[in-house]
Amino acid sequence: MKTPDRFQTSRKDVRFSRRRGVTLLLCLLTAAVMVTCTQCKSSVDSQNTATQAPADDVIEVSATEAPAYDPLHFEKPDIPDNGADGYISSVDSGVYIYDRMTFELCGGSDEAAEDYAAAISDFKKNAPEFTVYNMVVPTHTEFGLPERLAQETYTASQSQNIQKVYSSYTEDVKPINCYNKLCEHISEYLYFNTDHHWTGLAAYYAYQAFCEQTGQTPLQLSDCTENKKEGFTGTFSDCADDLKPDTVYYWTFPYATHAMRTEESGAEPYEMDIYYEYIEDSSSLYSTFICGDSALFVMYNDDNKNGRKIAVVKESYGNAFVPYLTYNYEEVHVIDSRYFQGSVIDYMKENGISEIIFVNNTMSSNNPFMVDGIREIS
């Protein structure tokens, strides 16, 4: 079965509001003036891991308080360095090539971090009855580019920038630190070699961090079925020859789900699966996760009627993350801040949703256009 035309995602579409024009210029300018921070090296205490509920039972969400953790503590990633040099791509000056992998060069600033934190804080201030989480996701450059090369390319440490976000809230926003969880698995396949996104495995580890820090039982991948699509050619695949190949891995769950997708605000929703498995275009395989970006994508756990609902405001990094939430919530309402029109607060009230998590990578959280988009729908 071929992918319907409306599901085809061109590289230009995938790069929407991320890489071209003013956004890229802004990132490169701010990166050039940032000072790479010295990160602390002490280890984070191991957190309690809840036990997976039997498949035949109704899934119970832990009612205990989340284990104590310090969201402002960031591990120092142990990045392998083979001593080789890298180079700026002749195709895209915002992309650095090293060890047959691509890295999107961008920094951030304290001012941008504070602005993003203010936007999330304002949301909480306007809706104090909601539980508001925020997770900023580091990009491949943070975990794949050795420090000597990061300094040469003026690529600043993203941990400092995320820390600034998490320490700048003016309201009771709950930060989710996925950085340290990714550090624990740095030797694994966390980011694509030819694309700007993280993998489904990295998104799972971020989901684990979310569960651990909110006192919930995480889904176990060992209880799921692994699937893969080989030959993924991502947004940077034309930036160099002989890049390492990519495979899109995704996991189907031991419970029934379905989803309703709304392409644009006001359009008629239609039913589909959480994973769109019929994509054949190699450059669009990341759209296997919730069929790419849309104004609204609502997922349902058909076997778990616990009544819990959560909203997720995200850009494309969130696509690989949100499917796992169906284990803990009966309904997961996924909102893309670039396409959704209206008030998220009103939408949550109308649909009986009391929790919300904002999921953005550091490129987006330092992008004023993305932050303004969050404010527009708050």
Q: Which helix (H) or strand (E) holds 175?
A: strand 174-175
Q: Does 289 score more than 90 pLDDT?
A: yes
DSSP state of 19: S
> Degrees (nearest 5) of the Cα angle 41, 81, 104?
90
Cα–Cα distance, 348 to 130 (Å, whole number): 9
Q: Is residue 54 situated within a structural domain?
A: no
For residues 229 and 152, what is the distance between their CA atoms, to the nearest angstrom? Answer: 35
The whole-model pTM stands at: 0.85
Instruction: State percent of the chain over pLDDT 90.
Output: 79
Q: How many domains does the chain have?
A: 1
| The predicted structure's pLDDT at residue 231 | 98
The better pLDDT of the pair 327, 52 is held by: 327
Work out the mean pLDDT of the chain and round it to a whole number. Answer: 87
321: alpha, beta or left? (left if phi > 0; alpha if psi -120 to 50): alpha
Cα separation, 112 vs 97, whole angstroms: 27
Distance CA 226, CA 89 (A): 34
- 3-state helix/strand/coil string of 37-71: CCCCCCCCCCCCCCCCCCCCCCCCCCCCCCCCCCC
User: Is position 296 within any domain?
Assistant: yes
- Copy the structure tokens of residue 266: 């006001």
The single-letter DSSP state of residue 366 is: T
d(CA 223, CA 57): 14
How confident is the model over 326-369, as pLDDT tens digits? Answer: 999 999 999 999 999 999 999 999 999 999 999 999 999 999 99
Measured at the CA of 25, the angle between CA 192 and CA 317, to 5 degrees, comes to: 30
What domain range includes position 28?
Answer: 8-48+68-377
In a domain, 59, yes or no: no
Per-residue DSSP letter, 35: -
- Express each pLDDT in 57-103 by its tens digit: 444 544 456 667 899 999 999 999 999 999 999 999 999 999 999 99
Beta pairing partners, 136? 360
Query: Whole-angstrom Cα distance, residue 114 to residue 94?
Result: 24
Has residue 321 been placed in a domain?
Answer: yes
- What are 225-281's pLDDT values in tens digits? 999 999 999 999 999 999 999 999 999 999 999 999 999 999 999 999 999 999 999
Tell me if 61 is assigned to some domain. no
56 is a domain residue = no
Q: CA-CA distance, 297 to 312, in Å (whole number)?
A: 10
Task: Answer whether residue 116 shows pLDDT above 80.
Answer: yes
| Nearest in space to 278 (alpha carbons), one of 269, 270, 287 | 287
164 φψ region: left (φ > 0), alpha (ψ -120 to 50), beta (else): alpha
Tell me the angle at which helices 158-166 and 110-126 cross, rounded to the nearest 10 degrees. Answer: 30
The H-assigned helical ranges of 285-329 are none
Strand 87-88 relative to strand 95-98, pairing: antiparallel
Backbone angles phi, psi at 338, to 5 degrees: -85, -20
DSSP 205-251: HHHHHHHHHHT-PPPPGGGSEEEEEEEE--TTTTSSSSPPPEEEEEE
Alpha carbon 306 to chain centroid, angstroms: 25
Would you say residue 2 lies in a domain? no
Asked if 313 and 337 count as a contact pair (C-beta separation under 8 A), the reply is yes
Residue at 174 is within a domain: yes
| Alpha-carbon distance values, 66 to 63, 70, 322, 329, 360 (Å) | 9, 12, 20, 17, 22
Hunting for tokens 């959480």 — which residue is that?
274
What's the pLDDT at 34?
38
Confidence band, pLDDT 50/70/90 cuts, at residue 156 = confident
* Cβ-contact 76, 41 below 8 angstroms: yes
Written as one letter, the residue type at 12 is K
Length of the chain: 378
